[in-house]
Amino acid sequence: MNDLVIAENVSKKLGAVQILKNVSFTIKSRELLAVQGHSGSGKSTLLGLLAGLEEADSGKIQINGTVITQLSEKDLSLFRRNDIGIVFQFFNLIPVLNVVENIGLPLYPVKIKHNEIFKRAKDAADKVGLSHRLHHYPNSLSGGEQQRVAIARALINNPKVIFADEPTGNLDSDNGKKIIELLKILNRDNGLTIAMVTHDNAIASEADRIIKLKDGEIQSE
């Protein structure tokens, strides 16, 4: 398997606080990676940098051959839309949109016909087991179902990699297990590369590899 994501000497400060210090590692294609660390260790900041949501102070991040740390804001935005899927702890669904509309939302800035958006959103819903809930609204869904919508939304552009920040952190243990099983299926059967931040040792143990951060540096791998 080739290295899909390469981080080299990535550093980030927040004010006077050094959040990350010369962090280097790779994520292989089709790998399921877990990033762990105590609160303040820099794990969520690291994921934000990898996903192009934050800007590194120094270092280089390369995804599928593209050095995203050298892209303009416009090109980075396009790269995120086309090549990266992002899943957050809090589902960030639009309350006035139903399931299929929430899933298809990333496609609306693209010049794609409405019926094609619906088809692709329905296909993504099928992958996460929500084909029976397409026209339901977020307030009628369980937490686990809302996170499935968020994962389907991240799948809509067939990304090269998904970055998930505490994808089970807002769920009870039963729904958390179901979400990690879903991510494992997407990784195993669809060949999707996934990097997730988690504080849960049981969830992390399901990954192919675990990187542990401490005080902004890799403690173990």
- What does the pLDDT average to over 190-209? 90
Domains, the chain, in order of start with CATH, read 3-220 (3.40.50.300)
pLDDT tens, 133-184? Answer: 999 999 999 988 999 999 999 999 889 999 999 888 878 888 888 888 999 9
Q: Which of the four pLDDT bands, split at 50, 70 and 90, describes residue 37?
A: confident
Q: Is the pLDDT of residue 47 over 70?
A: yes
What single-letter DSSP state applies at residue 5?
E
Residue 46 burial by Cβ neighbours in a 10 Å radius (0-12, 13-18, 19+): buried
The whole-number pLDDT of residue 1 equals: 60
